[in-house]
Amino acid sequence: MLIHPWDAASDDEWRGWLSVHDFGQLIAGGSGRDLPVVTPAHFAFDGDRTVLTHLARPNPIWPLLEEHPRALLTVVDDYTYIRADWNTAADPELGVPTSYYATVQLEGDVRLVDDPAAKAALLDEQLRHFEPDGARARVSATEAPDRRLLPGIRGIEFTITGVRAKFKFGGNKTAEDRERIGARLAERGGRLDDEALAQLRRRG
């Protein structure tokens, strides 16, 4: 991924963003395979360097992670299309369109979690993240129905070893350009335009 200096995210920026953007794609390459396996998943990020998730046991990603316990986790959001005629202060017929988006790509070491008690603890961590006010009882490795359900999943503890984070929101534009584009986004009001506009203004 190309990251220009004006698009680069600080550690605090990407960590804060990732704490509330908790759905991404886990990518495993395995060893000597033609193509990776890409699996969408919800996850819980601890705000530092650990990501927890779980997947169904039949998922095709497991053999690849066993061969090579390294993976990428990529998250993309707050994206929108910037029209050609918006993206120029000159002749709108000669403008060049672009995309605005935020993305965090994590590389990391993977530890597979199969011990029932450890899986129960991992699921509890995810539940606390997604349902802090939930009524769900703590996951049990020994009591029904969890004892029967736990063998159907495997857990993943993902330790971050590298980060590439990009917040592409017109950082190379003048203040006037950004104001013009922001006004167009506010006027259009399409899907994720508000989110992209908030990023555009925040990074101004």
149-165 pLDDT per residue, tens: 999 999 999 999 999 99
pLDDT at 204 over 90: no
Distance CA 142, CA 49 (A): 30
- What's the pLDDT band for 106 if we cut at 50, 70, 90? very high
Rounded-to-integer distance, Cα 5 and Cα 181, Å: 21
- pLDDT tens per residue across span 110-120: 999 999 999 99
The domain locations on the chain are 5-202
CATH of 5-202, one of 1.10.3720.10, 3.90.1150.10, 1.10.10.60, 2.30.110.10: 2.30.110.10
pLDDT at 39 over 90: yes
This prediction has a pTM of 0.94
Rounded to an integer, the average pLDDT of 116-127 is 98
pLDDT of 76 higher than 90: yes
Closest CA to 119 of 42, 54, 199, 191: 54
CA dihedral 125, 37, 168, 11 (to 10 degrees): 40
DSSP element (H, E) containing 52: strand 50-56
